[in-house]
Structure 1
Amino acid sequence: MSAQLQHLPAYLQRLDFERAPPPDLDTLRELQRRHTAVFAFETIATLLQAPVPVDLPSLQRKLLHEGRGGYCYELNRMFLALLQDLGFQARGLTGRVVMGGPEDAITARTHLVVLVTIDGVEYLADVGFGGMVPTAPLALHERGEQATAHEPYRLDTRGDSYVLRARSREDWQALYVFDAQLQSEIDYVVGNWYVSTHPQSPFRGQLFVARTGPGLRKTLNGGSFAVHRVGAASERIDLPDAAAVMAVLRDEFELRLPDDPQLPAAIERRLQVQAAERAAAQSAA
C-alpha cells in the first residue's frame, strides 16, 4: 500500500518514535497507549459550530502542526492511516454509541474505530472515544475481561455485532455497538458530517475534552474539569469562567487554542447552559 501520510516522520516524532516500528502487537499496544496520551480528544470545532474536515491533509495540519486534538473521525482516521503506512493490516469500522442509554438503542453510526489483524488475530483499536477510550488493543474474539493500563474492558457479542463494555466500579457499562461491515471513505465523511452539523448531534455546541496519562484520565465537560486516578476517587472542580476553561485547555490538555475571537463567548454560553441545567436539577430534587 502506498503511503497516505505526507507527514509520517512528524507523526512518529510526536509519538516519541525515532524510526518506524515493526507492525506487530507490541507496537500496536505502544502506539495506542502513547496516542491517547499525546493527542487530546476535543470538540472545540463543534463548540464553535465550525467545519470539521476529515481529509488526511487537513487532519495532519490540525493535529501535527496546529497543536490540536480532535474526535473519533479525526483521531481514529489519522491512526488508521498511520497503521496502514507502518504495514499493519487495518481498516475502519463504524459503531453506534449507546453509553448513557439503552444498549439496544438504534443510534446513528457516529463512531469510527479501527480493526487490526495481526498473525490472524483481530483486534479493536480505538484512540478516539473521549474519557472512556481504551488504552490498549482488545482481542475481538476474546470473551471476558481484558486488562488495559486504565479500566478493564470486555467485548460481548449480540447477533452479528459486538458490544464494547468498560468496568466502572463493579458495573460493566456499555459504550458502543459495532460490526465488521466494510466501510469506505464516504462513510467517514457522512458520519462526520452528522456529528459536526446535525442539530441532534451530542457534540454540537458542546465542549468535551479528554486525555490519558500514567494511571489517570483528565476530562473536561464544559466547565467541569476532573482528574480520574486508577483506584482512587475522582477530583472535580467547576471552572468559573471562559478564562479559567481556556487556561485548563492550555495547561492540562496542552492544546494550542484556535485564534478565533468567538471562542471565549462560546465557552461562556456553554457555562451558562450548564449552570441553568444544574439549577433545574436542584429544583426538581
Structure 2
Amino acid sequence: MLELQSSTIAKYISHYLSGFSIDAPIGTLSFVQALQAQHLAMYSFSSINAMQGAYLSLEPEELFERLIVQRQGGYCFEHNRVMYLALQALGYQVRPALARVMLSGKTDNPRTHRVTLLTHEGNTYVVDVGFGVQGFILPLAIDHNHSVNEGPNHYQIERTAAHAKVSLSAPQSLTLYEIDLAKVFEEDCEVGHFYSHQHPKASFVNNLVVSRIDDGQRYLIRNTTFLHVDERNQTQSEQVIGSVFQLQQLLQRHFNITASEEHLNKVFDKVQRRQLARAG
C-alpha cells in the first residue's frame, strides 16, 4: 500500500482504515477478522440509495466517497468492493466471487450477491461485509465441510468442487447462500449490481432494508418495522415506524447513516404505497 500513497484511491483507503482501531498486524488473518467486525459495526447495510432510481457507480473514488466519507450506507456490491479493494491494497490475496442468496428457500435465485474470497496460508476464506443483518462477523474457511461457532451463531460450510454453501444451524436453521467458485471479473459484478439496483422488480429497489451488527447487537429496519436483537441477553424488541421523522431518528441513533429528507420521503412513500397495494 505504501507504493500507492500518491494515488487518490490509496488516500481513500487510508482514510477508511484510519477509522478503525486494530491491534493485529497487517498480513495476518486476525487483522482481517478485526477489520470485518469493525466495518460491520461502523458502516451500515442500506437499500436507501438503491430505491432512488439513480445509477450507483462502483468506480473506487465515487464508491468510497458515497459509502465511507458521506456514510450513506450501501449493499453487497458496494460494501464488499470496498473490502476487496482495501485488502488488495494491503497485500492480501483476494478475488471477488458471486453467490446465490437462498434465504427464501429457492435454489434457482440469480447470482446477485458479491463476496470476497481470501487465500491465506494455503486456506480459502469468505469475507463478507455486505449481507445485512444475517451476516457473519468473521472470515469463514470454505475449503472443506465443517462448522464454525461464533457466539450463539453456528455456521455450517458445505463444500463441493464448484460451490461452497454457507448455512446457519443455530439459533435457527437457515441456508444463507451458495458461492460459485468460478473465476469472476469486475464486469460480472457490474451486471449483478446493475440488476440489483436498477431492475424494477429487484428486491432492494422496492424494499427498505437497513442493518448494522455491533458487538452482539443486531439492528434491522425492514420497510416499516424496526427490530433490535441483543444476542448477549437473548432478547428482541420490535417497533412500527410510522413517519419519516421516526425513520430519520432511527437511522441516526442506530445506523450512523446520513440520508437527505428528500430521499427518505421517497423511500417511505414507496414502502407505504406497496403496502397499501398488497393490502388492497
Q: TM-score, normalised by structure 1?
A: 0.89
1:231-246 alignment runs, 5 A limit: 232-246=234-248
> How far apart are the structure 1 equivalents of 2:168 and 2:191?
28
Q: How does 1:267-278 map to 2 (within 5 A)?
A: 267-274=268-275, 277=278
- Residue 89 of structure 1 deviates from its aligned partner by 0.6
Per the TM alignment, residue 260 of structure 1 is displaced from its structure 2 partner at its CA by 5.7
SS of match in other structure, 2:84: helix
C-alpha spacing 1:36/1:21, structure 2 compared with 1 (3 Å) = same
1:60 to 26, 43, 64: 64
Q: Does 1:15 align with 2:23?
A: no
What does residue range 170-209 of structure 1 map to in structure 2 within 5 Å?
171-209=172-210
Secondary structure at the aligned position of 1:112 is classed as: strand
For 1:13 and 1:150, the matched residues in 2 are separated by 30
Taking the TM superposition and a 5 Å limit, the aligned residue runs for 1:1-285 are 3=4, 5-17=10-22, 21-102=25-106, 105-149=107-151, 151-158=153-160, 160-169=162-171, 171-230=172-231, 232-257=234-259, 259=260, 261-274=262-275, 277=278
Query: Could you tell me the TM-score, scaled by structure 2's length?
Result: 0.90
Instruction: Give me the whole-angstrom Cα distance separating, in 2, the residues matched to 1:32 and 1:60.
Output: 16
In 2, are the aligned partners of 1:146 and 1:152 still within 8 Å (CA)? yes
Alignment identity in percent? Answer: 26
SS state at 1:30 partner: helix
Q: CA deviation at 1:93?
A: 0.5
1:85 to partner: Cα distance: 0.8
Preserved contact between residue 146 and residue 153 of structure 1 (Cα < 8 Å): yes
1:57 to 1:118, Cα distance in 2 relative to 1, 3 A: same
In structure 2, what is the Cα distance between the partners aligned to 1:123 and 1:15?
Answer: 22
User: For residues 216 and 23 of structure 1, what CA distance do their matches in structure 2 show?
Assistant: 28
Report Cα offsets for 1:43-98 as digits up to 9, x if no partner: 11112222211111111101222122210000000000000111111111011111
Aligned partner of residue 136 in structure 1, secondary structure: coil
Amino acid at match of 2:60: L
**Counterparts in 2 of 1:250 and 1:123: CA distance versus 1, 3 Å:** same
- Displacement of 1:148 after TM fit? 2.4
Question: Tell me, which stretches of 5 or more residues in structure 2 are unaligned?
Answer: none
The residue type equivalent to 1:200 in the other structure is K
Secondary structure, counterpart of 2:255 in structure 1 = coil
Task: Name the structure 2 match of 1:283.
Answer: none
Could you report, residue by residue, the CA deviation over 1:88-127 in whole angstroms, capped at 9, with x for unpaired residues?
111110111111223xx22211000011011111111100
Contact kept, 8 Å, 2:100 with 2:113, in 1: the verdict is yes
- State how many pairs are aligned: 274
Unaligned runs of 5+ in 1: 281-285
Instruction: Check whether the contact 2:47–2:209 (CA below 8 A) recurs between aligned residues.
Output: yes
- Which shows bigger deviation, 138-147 or 262-271? 262-271
SS in 2 for 1:199: coil
